[in-house]
Structure 1
């Protein structure tokens, strides 16, 4: 990636930071410096980032097996390191991200794949996203969709999340499913390192909110968890033995995944 100086690339971006942590090459020096500092604060960061991406793969495989062939992914970041289209090559996929540099490089990475496209938009503008020509062209009157909201609800306030999930529920057809990750910790615990870590996201332009599973279950209504309920990502991926107490960073840090349904 060319490293021409401009305001968009001098400031780290969460999607490109994730790309770097995942071993990708579509990032800039500012992203790499931010990622390295964040890892110095929370050494378990690479492990959590990797399982977030692995859960996307697991969720996609499950939903393809259930017959879903249209995916809408919100707050997508870059389509590298095994994103949705890698696991659903015959499906139609729309990625949404607010960062113009991420979208531009995302389209370049996809290389003209006719099944995949991007919408450049902030997911806070969900009504505009759902009314966009790109969405209308793909879904038409058939709005049975698989929807991804992964590692992104943590950047929204409770009110913004409630608006997001309500709008998605009203738009989606019965039978639709939404796969969600919940970034959680003990609300009564923190450390100076965690506070600095969260502060790094604020410097990138986004607040970062940890929530409990109970809070998540309230904010997603009227979506309902499927029969599997909320599980840790390690449980979904059957890798619980890879985690040690230190990975929870002294604050009971845990990431959960859930499949939500519209009956």
Structure 2
């Protein structure tokens, strides 16, 4: 597959590199390697985020959700939603047109999944997109997935208001799932992450904004949190029944995750 003709690194491309994909370009590789040098935990955080997505989708299908809107999805590879929940209807949304173009090629043999161009900052444009409304039935529960995307929306653009606009038209029984970067609790890791954010924001189009657990919890206003609430993403419904949180795992400290039920 021909690489997109672009020279600026994007979050989708950097994420693809971290996950071992093949849809990134040279600028993405360079940005990912530079950020990995300043924050060696970056690739493990990307892995933890993808594992949280998998557990989220499996949980939602277990409670009867069979359609998903994944905003800020990047490329639908490396165990994306339609692979974890076969038979479900899935719309991937990304604001980079070349990411969407490649994604549509990847999904060409998947009749129940598609990718559309849209910007989280314009929820109405996404929710009213003819391909979104053509595939998803908003009178039935939807799994709204905002995985590692809200930390690219600065406070001055009112991310809480954006989330409320996204959830407003969704039927009772829909769920909001969020993963979000946060500052680690120990000073050494926090210093590493600050260095990483500086490098990342200098080289990638979308700037990164860490938030506290309290700030991320506010995105779930109007929903009922699924137990155990907002926690470190690795600690949310772990697959291993004998899972014990590793306090020494610094990568575990920088990603929050949770799900809220609507209605």
1:129 aligns with 2:126: yes
CA offsets 1:25-56 (integer angstroms, 9 cap, x no match)? 11111111111111001001111000101111
CA 1:240–1:48: 2 relative to 1, 3 Å: farther
Residue pair 2:11, 2:205 contacting (<8 A) in 1 also: no
1:173 aligns with 2:177: no
Query: 1:259 aligns to what SS in structure 2?
Result: strand
1:183 aligns with 2:181: yes
Matches within 5 A, 1:21-36: 21-36=18-33
Cross-structure match for 1:244: 248
CA 1:193–1:166: 2 relative to 1, 3 Å: closer
Q: Which moved more, 1:139-148 or 1:119-128?
A: 139-148
CA offsets 1:80-127 (integer angstroms, 9 cap, x no match)? 100101111100000000011111111111233110011101110111
Q: What TM-score comes out, normalization by structure 2 length?
A: 0.89
1:77 aligns with 2:81: no
Residue pair 1:13, 1:31 contacting (<8 A) in 2 also: yes
Cα distance in 2, alignment partners of residues 243 and 31 from structure 1: 31
Q: What TM-score comes out, normalization by structure 1 length?
A: 0.89
Residue pair 1:165, 1:221 contacting (<8 A) in 2 also: no
Gaps of 5+ in 1: none
User: Alignment length, in residue pairs?
Assistant: 256
CA 1:233–1:227: 2 relative to 1, 3 Å: closer
Query: 2:125 aligns to what SS in structure 1?
Result: helix
Residue pair 2:31, 2:204 contacting (<8 A) in 1 also: no
Query: 2:144 aligns to what SS in structure 1?
Result: strand
Give 4+ residue runs of structure 1 displaced > 4 Å after superposition: 186-190, 238-243
1:37 aligns with 2:37: no
Residue pair 2:38, 2:195 contacting (<8 A) in 1 also: no
Cα distance in 1, alignment partners of residues 210 and 185 from structure 2: 8
CA offsets 1:127-167 (integer angstroms, 9 cap, x no match)? 11111112222234524211100000100123431122111
The root-mean-square deviation of aligned C-alpha atoms, in Å, is 2.3
- Aligned-residue offset at 1:244: 2.8
1:150 aligns with 2:147: yes
CA 1:193–1:76: 2 relative to 1, 3 Å: closer
Query: 1:171 aligns to what SS in structure 2?
Result: coil
Cα distance in 2, alignment partners of residues 128 and 247 from structure 1: 35
Residue pair 2:39, 2:196 contacting (<8 A) in 1 also: no
Cα distance in 1, alignment partners of residues 139 and 44 from structure 2: 38
CA 1:228–1:53: 2 relative to 1, 3 Å: same
Cross-structure match for 1:257: 257
Residue pair 2:89, 2:112 contacting (<8 A) in 1 also: yes
Cross-structure match for 1:114: 111
CA 1:193–1:210: 2 relative to 1, 3 Å: closer
- Aligned-residue offset at 1:201: 3.2
